Amino acid sequence: MEVNIPEVVEEVRALFECYEQALVAKDVEVLDATFWNSPHTIRYAIHENGYGFDEIHAHRVRRPPGPGIKVGRRRLVITTLGRDIATVNLEFDMRGRDTPGRQSQTWVRFPDIGWKVVSAHVSVTEATPAY
CA dist 116 and 107 (Å) reads 5
Domain membership of residue 12 (yes or no) is yes
Distance CA 22, CA 18 (A): 6
Give residue 69's pLDDT.
77
Q: What does residue 110 show for φ and ψ, rounded to 5 degrees?
A: -90, 145
Residue 117 resides in a domain = yes
Mean of all residue pLDDT scores within the chain: 93
96 has a pLDDT exceeding 70: yes
Q: Does residue 131 belong to any structural domain of this protein?
A: no
Total structural domains within the chain: 1
Query: What residue type is 79 in one-letter code?
Result: T
The residue-averaged pLDDT of 97-109 equals 94
* Contact present, 88 and 16 (Cβ < 8 Å): yes
Of 31-35, 97-101, 102-106, 120-124, which range is least confident?
A: 97-101
**pLDDT over threshold 70, residue 130:** no
Domain assignment present for 129 = no
CA distances 128 to 3, 103, 119, 125, 131, Å, are: 32, 18, 27, 9, 9
Once rounded to an integer, what is the mean pLDDT over residues 4-22? 97
Residue 129 has pLDDT above 80, yes or no: no
Whether 76 is covered by a domain: the verdict is yes
What is the CATH classification number for the domain harbouring 79?
3.10.450.50
How many other CB atoms are there within 10 angstroms of residue 66's CB atom?
9
- Structural domain that includes position 105: 6-124
For the whole model, what pTM was predicted? Answer: 0.92
Residue 55 falls inside a structural domain:
yes
The answer to whether residue 1 is domain-embedded is: no
Average pLDDT of the segment spanning 42-69 = 90
